[in-house]
C-alpha cells in the first residue's frame, strides 16, 4: 500500500496506475533521494518536447 492512497480504496487498473517520477527518501531505483528517476526524466522530456 502506498502511503498516499486513501484507506479502503481499490487499486487503480494498470493503465491508470500512478507512476512515481521522483524517488522518496529511500530510493527504490538508481536515483538519489528526492530526485527524478528514469520515468521522471522521460516524462519531463516528453512534456518539454511537446511544448516545443
Mean pLDDT calculated for residue range 43-50 = 89
Residue 12 C-alpha cell reads as: 487503480
pLDDT at res. 24: 82
**pTM recorded for the entire structure:** 0.55
Yes or no: say if 37 and 23 are a contact pair by the CB < 8 Å rule: yes
pLDDT at res. 29: 75
pLDDT at res. 10: 63
- Residue 23, phi then psi, degrees to nearest 5: -75, 150
Query: What confidence tens digit (pLDDT) does each residue in 6-42 have?
Result: 556 666 666 656 778 888 888 787 778 888 888 888 8
Yes or no: say if 46 and 37 are a contact pair by the CB < 8 Å rule: no
Amino acid at each position: 500500500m502506498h502511503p498516499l492512497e486513501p484507506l479502503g480504496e481499490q487499486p487503480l487498473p494498470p493503465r491508470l496506475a500512478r507512476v512515481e517520477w521522483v524517488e522518496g527518501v529511500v530510493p527504490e531505483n538508481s536515483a538519489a533521494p528526492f530526485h527524478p528517476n528514469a520515468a521522471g526524466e522521460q516524462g519531463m522530456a516528453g512534456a518539454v518536447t511537446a511544448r516545443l
